[in-house]
Structure 1
Amino acid sequence: MSQLMLRWLSSLCALLLLAPVQADEVQVAVAANFTAPMKLIAADFEKDTGHKAVLTFGATGRFYAQITHGAPFDVLLAADDDIPAKLEKEGAAVNDSRFTYATGRLVLWSAQPGVVDAQGEVLRKGNFRKIAIAAPKLAPYGAAAVETMNKLGLQAVLEPKVVQGESIGQAFSFVSTGNAELGFVALSQVYEGGKIKSGSAWIVPAKLHDPIRQDAVLLAKARDSKAALQLMAFLKAEKTKAVIRSFGYQP
């Protein structure tokens, strides 16, 4: 091989080493309550890393069933800490990859001003036809809503008026469209700029339900995915925590 050819090959190798790593996609299953912040986080992630986060939103319980049946997700951002722990235990997620990315807040909300008072006494008065919650067996915010009604001693009274959505997103839709006068939804769905952005609301005191710790976990199929690993790290970055706080969560 000639010296000219050797120099050419050497230069080509150097260029290849300097070339940027090819951008990749990461498939992310996202709890419905985290829809708005995750859209912003995904945009920042793509801008900063070049990798694209492909987002699917829904109920955590439904995602668990899909993942255990082979759904091609790389990362799960759950609405609780139970499902990610269960996935780790069952070998469907990478051990020790789990961490709490946000702690959520529950809010009783109506799309109409003046319906929900600042102390939530509307629940005791009962002058409404329907109250929406997420399905408690599928969505942790739904379980927190049931726990809240029980703590208030109102579960039996309110049960005939309850309409359930599969996810907290569907529960929010019931209220926002007027199919239910009020409902228990995620604070992040109605919170912007440090205040409730529309309608009327009562932020449920944390003592009325167990903490809504939302965990992220790396799924087993993505244990060697650079894009997935970078997203997990990105969720812990200070700029990401600032976005999470802006929607009423505690990072």
Structure 2
Amino acid sequence: MISTLQKLAGLGSDIGHTSSSSINFNANLPVSIEVMKQIDATRYRLKLGRKELTTKSSKNLKEGQKYWANFSEKQGGILTISALYKQPQLFEKDEYFLPLDYKHFFDSKTFSYNDFKSFLLKQLSDETISKTLFKTLSYMLLALSKATIHLPLSYDGKKVMLQFQVQGDETLLFYMALEHLGPLRGILSPTKLQMATMYEKSFHYLQKESPKLGMITHITLQEEISPLFDLSDIVLDLKG
């Protein structure tokens, strides 16, 4: 089952080779944007990759926040954004990600909670570790206290945040966040994958690419998809 998650992560990481100087706003898939500045009641300065642009949004956006969204270009070259959805806090900053290929964590077909915990504790005990890496590994350890494997990986400029929990019936409950597909969530068994996505464009892309997963795959659209673990969980624990 772990190898299937590897293949699923690969479907998203293969997307997005368009250069930052030439962006297709009628993209076939969602994009990741950052709100740089609110200009007036409806206009915002946004950052898409390394390119900045000004556009309108009927939805109130927060400066500094990152979102997934659909882009389109209307008659007269007017750019509009729609279907905005706030990204998880742990997906916002590059410093929360390990500069590793996801394949490094999927060499084996099994994944042991105890082995993963031992790995994190060993890394955290290294006195030479950087503050940024210490923080990222600490979040991974906190997620593990909720029986959640949290893998924030960045390789070749592409971010993949994978979270999963082993269920009592040996299935995997998983959440995956990808820059060009948005959030995914589902249940994986040895023979079947049930998965939901928020974006219709992602839905059609995943349907087209699902034969590469090598198993029965059922994909649906869902209005909202939340991660299994995020920074808000830490705040709730502290208050509790």
Asked if these proteins are the same fold (TM beyond 0.5), I'd say no
Which of 1 and 2 has greater Rg? Answer: 1
Whose strand fraction is larger, Structure 1's or Structure 2's? Answer: 2
Structure with the bigger RCO (C-alpha within 8 Å, sep 6+) is 1
Whose helix fraction is larger, Structure 1's or Structure 2's? Answer: 1
